[in-house]
Amino acid sequence: MEENKYLIKPDSKVAAFRSKNKVDIIYSSLIIPNELIDIARNKKYTVRTFGCQANERDGEIISGILEKIGYSKANSLEESDVIILNTCAIRENANERVFGEIGHLRVLKRNNPDLVFALCGCMAQQETTISKILSTNNQVDLIFGTHNISNLPDLLYQAYLSKEKIVQVYSKEGEVYEDLPSVRDSKTKAWVNIMYGCDKFCTYCVVPYTRGKERSRLKEDIIKEVNELVREGYQEITLLGQNVNAYGNDLNLGYNFEDLLKEVAKTNIPRIRFTTSHPWNFTKGMIEAIRDYPNIMPYVHLPLQSGDDEILKRMGRRYTFKEYLELYNLIRSTIPNVAITTDIIVGFPNESDEAFENTMKIVDECKYDGAYTFIFSPRPGTPAYLMKDEISSQTKSKRLERLIEATKKYAKLRNVEQEGKILKVLVDGPSKRNPDILSGYSEENKLVNFKGNPNSIGKIVKVKILKGKAFTLEGVQVDE
């Protein structure tokens, strides 16, 4: 019997598989049924994105596809004819938020029975999500996976035709899609994918299962995209990958992330950022490129996860705390005024008091500019999910509290160091709290609130820093 292509559920065993097969690069893949173009006329959409930058970029592409079909962006959920939740599965609370949201949307569906309600992103790649939704959440019409985005027009059309839920979630290593339309969220800052997927298989992480194998875009396609952004007047790009240092490995062209960084720096884009870098494979050449090219920003996000060698080993992180510190110190000593932030997980299964203290020691030594801290969340399908854990949730919460306190203290210390300096700030707009104050990010990726000229929005200006706080800097523009 032929497989029903509108009822394909994820399979984590298949998703965990890695081959040496060459990755297909697919250009101009979008096919839009004419009937759907008629349906979409005068209809509106909302895409709501959760999670990381890779998801944000997917959200922009999903919006681009919907606008290409003919939908226009809605101003509210109530006036939407299509609502797409683009979800994240990294921790359980991300999942819970999405299920909460699905619950809220029930009433919209009641008021507008023609509403098409879809769910995509990393949660869609999980068997547990699909079975829960298929058994309980009747208001969801369509579920599609991270590998199925280019099929969205067909899937959406089927959702209009069918009374059944449409589910299409491939579990596979994945391709590279070029030329999909997109609507970017910002006119000044842009995400640029350089690679997809992850092959590191850290034992706590779902990403390798939800996003397929590491596969790089061709440098020609990346540079073409960056040049277009320069022409459109963009001020900043962020090169995106789950682990950008692995860029090019799969292509076997002898061209790596350091080469790409330098080539991108030679375009006239004023600011280049990149995220995320695994400490493993972070080369001296990359660090020197950041130092040598003024348009590569002096900011590195360098996830530590744990400062204890036994935990690092069980996490599958491929470095020791000593190796991490060596790299950290090399970055600090090579790049002037560099800012370094990190990710740390507490409460990994059976993390002892001693292991946690080892993490605190590294935090005391590194004095990070900022840290994202999490309590370990067991993800179904990952090796750490099955690890025995006898540490109470109370102990974990206490550890997190201590860690947050320490990282806040050091972030403030680093920010106080900026007092008196003149930093270059790309102005986003009025600050959230006070419309008379402008807000933007410095080259070091520090959020700066300052008194300045409202005509500076979208531009890079000089700001004298007057005060460093734990999460922000305050200052005054000096080049109006």
Nearer residue to ligand 5AD within complex by CB, 46 or 305: 305
Nearer residue to ligand 5AD within complex by CB, 343 or 389: 343
Give least dist CB 186 to ligand 5AD, A: 22
Nearer residue to ligand 5AD within complex by CB, 10 or 349: 349
Q: Which residues bind ligand SF4 (CB under 6 A)?
A: 198, 200-202, 205, 207-208, 242-243, 278
Asked if 205 interacts with ligand 5AD (CB under 6 A), we say yes
Asked if 305 interacts with ligand 5AD (CB under 6 A), we say yes
Give least dist CB 198 to ligand SF4, A: 3
Nearer residue to ligand 5AD within complex by CB, 204 or 299: 204
Select the residue interacting with ligand 5AD from 208, 212, 298, 303 (CB under 6 A).
303
What binding mask, one character per residue, do residues 367-406 give for ligand 5AD by CB under 6 A, x or -? -------x-xx-x---------------------------
Nearer residue to ligand SF4 within complex by CB, 205 or 363: 205
**Binding at 479: pick from ligand 5AD, ligand SF4, none (beta carbon under 5-8 Å per type):** none
Give least dist CB 442 to ligand SF4, A: 26
**Binding at 229: pick from ligand 5AD, ligand SF4, none (beta carbon under 5-8 Å per type):** none
Give least dist CB 17 to ligand SF4, A: 15
**Binding at 99: pick from ligand 5AD, ligand SF4, none (beta carbon under 5-8 Å per type):** none
**Binding at 200: pick from ligand 5AD, ligand SF4, none (beta carbon under 5-8 Å per type):** ligand SF4
Distance between CA atoms of residues 305 and 327, nearest Å: 15
Residues engaged in binding ligand 5AD (CB under 6 A): 90-91, 204-205, 303, 305, 343, 345, 374, 376-377, 379
